[in-house]
Amino acid sequence: MTNVLVTGMLPVFGRSLEPGFNVFDVMHHGFHEKQISNVSRWLLEADGSHRLGGTFMKILIDEVNSQKTGGEPLPDSGYWGRHEVNTAAVDEPTDIADLVLESDATVPVVENYFTSDGHAHSYDGYLAYGLRPTRRA
């Protein structure tokens, strides 16, 4: 597929007229957290093989900035991403975040589930991980 074709099709994926449309259903990819994290991390790579540059990172960071109260907006580029990252402090039980985006100054930490799925996900732990010295989360 050419970039023009893919770029033209992407907006359609995001606004189907059918209720309950989900591009992961079409891909038969599944709903397991790790699968979603893998696809998300790939889409967030500006130099990913999808050849869409930083489009998805910009969309995510724009959404974060629209929900954020106070402070400077987060930059919408310059991050490198990892998935399934242990964010727990030393001597604490494992606490896996689905996605961690890092730059020299900012660390957004993403959990795919709105609420904990019973695996000890901790908002406070994610925040502490992101706020390590000289960074904001």
Looking at residue 126, its pLDDT comes to 84
pLDDT band at 1 (very low <50, low <70, confident <90, very high): very low
In angstroms, the CA 10 to CA 25 distance is: 15
Looking at residue 34, its pLDDT comes to 72
Distances (CA, A) of 93 to 17, 27, 83, 114, 125: 44, 35, 18, 21, 11
Looking at residue 81, its pLDDT comes to 86
In angstroms, the CA 30 to CA 21 distance is: 14
In angstroms, the CA 65 to CA 40 distance is: 19
Q: pLDDT per residue over 99-134, tens digit each?
A: 898 888 888 888 876 554 556 677 888 888 888 776
What residue segments make up the domains of the chain, in order of their start?
3-130
Of 83, 100, 93, the closest CA to residue 121 belongs to 93
In angstroms, the CA 9 to CA 35 distance is: 22
Q: pLDDT per residue over 38-91, tens digit each?
A: 788 888 888 888 788 889 889 889 988 998 888 889 998 888 888 888 888 888
Name the more confident of 123 and 137: 123
Question: What percentage of the chain's residues is helix, strand, coil (to nearest 5)?
Answer: 35, 15, 50
Looking at residue 26, its pLDDT comes to 61
Looking at residue 49, its pLDDT comes to 85
Residue whose pair of structure tokens reads 């007229």 in the numeric block? 17
Q: pLDDT per residue over 3-19, tens digit each?
A: 565 566 556 555 555 55
Looking at residue 3, its pLDDT comes to 59
pTM exceeds cut of 0.85:
no
